Amino acid sequence: MPLPVLLGQFIIGLINGSFYALLGVGLAIIFGMLRIVHFAQGAFFMMGAFVAWMLLGYANINYWLALIIAPLLVAVIGLVLERTLIRRLYALDHIYSLLITFALAMMIESLFRNFFGSAGAPYAMPASLSGGQNLGFMFLPYYRLWVIFAATVCCAMTWLIIEKTSLGALLRAATEDPKLVQSFGVNVPRMIMLTYAAGVGLAALAGVLAAPMYSVYANMGSNIIINVFAIVVIGGMGSILGAIAGGFTLGVVEALTKLIYPQGSATVIFVVMIVVLLYRSKSPSNQAS
């Protein structure tokens, strides 16, 4: 296999992995902090793309402002949902959160499909990121380079906030022993609500980044969420660093599989997931427990 072709597929894998990583980090936050198996993450990804598209089409708000406004608007919707629905799931078994958030995803997708139809709507790429760079082995559009950069920075910042700051330590403590943290005067319900909003806001940010690359359509979230769940399982449910590493790595693995064995590209992520789960089940720590 020629090296230039492999390098080209590697970069394509990083681009797809950028979306996997952003969605996976949001999913890992919601599960790790709130213990919610959040199947609606893909619907918020789609919602972020649609909000950016509507801001441009109806309010003439450009891509750069939409990159800030759309995730915030979707996060506000997440606040309302957490207040009215999601917080009722915290004391229930994980299967209930999976089923209810799956139903929520179907409802959101159906709502957007009824209003905007099933056909994809184009979203214009920002003029400042038009064109690209000839790397010799491929022509790399500047926008795709921007997607890799933006996703990497956002994922790294999220990991740093959760793992390396006092706020992150407080969040982790609140999920482990909310009564103890609340006794110090911390409003734990509000903190949990904002954590959920941040998780869905990351999904919406990924949707805005994806909008200029793909058509904006109602099923765009359901087409990616299964892969994201597999990646989060591989990285470790609730592990932010695992979601980042798993997202980028499996994006590359998927892209290289399309080149070497195209028929297996749709299932390679799940093959890796099965192998990882089998390895973990046979590890000494699991056998000891």
Side chain identity, residue 59? A
Helix (DSSP H) and strand (DSSP E) numbers for the chain = 12, 2
What global pTM score does this model have? 0.92
Could you give the percent of the chain with pLDDT greater than 70?
97
- Span 250-254, average pLDDT: 92
- Span 193-221, average pLDDT: 93
Side chain identity, residue 14? L
Evaluate if residue 1 carries a pLDDT over 70. no
Could you give the percent of the chain with pLDDT greater than 90?
53
What is the per-residue DSSP string for 155-199? HHHHHHHHHHSHHHHHHHHHHH-HHHHHTTT--HHHHHHHHHHHH
Evaluate if residue 33 carries a pLDDT over 50. yes
Evaluate if residue 283 carries a pLDDT over 70. no
Domains of the chain: 3-288 (1.10.3470)
- Span 18-25, average pLDDT: 94
Evaluate if residue 77 carries a pLDDT over 90. yes
- Span 79-83, average pLDDT: 94
pLDDT one-digit tens code per residue, 121-170? 999 999 999 999 888 877 889 999 999 999 999 999 999 999 899 888 88
- Span 26-39, average pLDDT: 89
Evaluate if residue 282 carries a pLDDT over 80. no
